[in-house]
Amino acid sequence: MKKDEYVRVIDYLPRGKSEIPPHKRKPIAQAIGEIYFSLLEIVPRGGMSFELGERVYIGEGVRDKVDHIERRIKYEWLTPTAKSELAFVLENIIKDKEDYFINFYNTAGTISTRQHKLECLPRIGKRHRQDILDEREREPFKNFEDMRSRVKNIPDPVKVIVDKIIEELQGKSKYMLFVLLIEDKVDFIK
C-alpha cells in the first residue's frame, strides 16, 4: 500500500480533543498528505509541537517530530480549524508541485464518450475545456501563469484543483481525479 511520506498540518491540538476524557487526552495534529491527500491524525514526540501548514515527515524510519500516526480520518471528522485551513494548505501543496498539476492540465483525457476529465473540475465547463484543449495543442502549458495568460477568463487553475480535492475528500465527487488515483502518483513522490 502506498503511503504519504510527508504531511502538512491543518490543525494542532496541544491539549488533545475535548471529546476525550481529560485523563486520556494527548496532543494531536490533523494533517493532510502531500501526494495521496490522506487525512490523518498524528501524535507529536514528547516536547514537540506543530505549526499550522508545517511540513512533517511521517515516512518509514526515524521521524523527528512524530511519535506515531494515530489514525486515518474522514473529512467530516476534521476540526473547524482544520476545515478552514485545508484550502490554504492545499494551495501551497499544489504550488509546490506545480509541474505535476500543470502536467494534469496538459495531459488530462476523456472519462467517457460524453465527458472529459477537465469538465469534472469545478467551474470548468465545455467552453473552458475546449479553450484549454486548443491552447495545450498549440503548446503545452509551462506553468499556471502561462495557463492564465493563454486561456482567457479561466478560473484560477490552482483554486480549481483545491476545490476539486476538497470535493473528493468530502465524498461529493463521482470521479476521483486526485485523492484516490494512487497508481498515477508514483512520479509525484520525487
pLDDT at position 160: 97
In a domain, 167, yes or no: yes
Closest CA relative to residue 50, chosen from 62, 40, 35: 40
pLDDT tens string 14-26: 999 888 888 889 9
pLDDT at position 190: 34
- Boundary residue ending a domain (21, 43, 77): 77
In a domain, 131, yes or no: yes
Same domain, 48 and 108: no
Same domain, 108 and 163: yes
Cα 74 versus chain centre, distance: 14
Q: Which 3-state string (H, E, C) describes the chain?
A: CCCCCEEEEEEEECCCCCCCCHHHCCCEEEEEECCCCCEEEEEECCCCCCCCCCEEECCCCCCCCEEEEEEECCHHHCCHHHHHHHHHHHHHHHHHCHHHHHHHHHHCCECCCCCEHHHHCCCCCHHHHHHHHHHHHHCCCCCHHHHHHHCCCCCCHHHHHHHHHHHHHCCCCCCCCCCCCHHHHHHHHC
pLDDT at position 3: 86
The better pLDDT of the pair 104, 175 is held by 104
pLDDT band at 181 (very low <50, low <70, confident <90, very high): very low
pTM of this structure: 0.90
pLDDT at position 18: 86
Q: How many domains does the chain have?
A: 2
Same domain, 104 and 177: yes
- Boundary residue ending a domain (77, 112, 130): 77
In a domain, 1, yes or no: no
In a domain, 189, yes or no: no
pLDDT tens string 67-125: 999 999 999 999 999 999 999 999 999 999 999 999 999 999 999 888 899 999 999 99
Report the percentage of the chain scoring pLDDT > 90: 81
pLDDT tens string 30-42: 999 999 999 999 9
Same domain, 50 and 119: no
Q: What range defines the domain where residue 140 resides?
A: 97-183
In a domain, 91, yes or no: no
pLDDT at position 182: 39
pLDDT tens string 109-167: 999 888 899 999 999 999 999 999 999 999 999 999 999 999 999 999 999 999 999 99
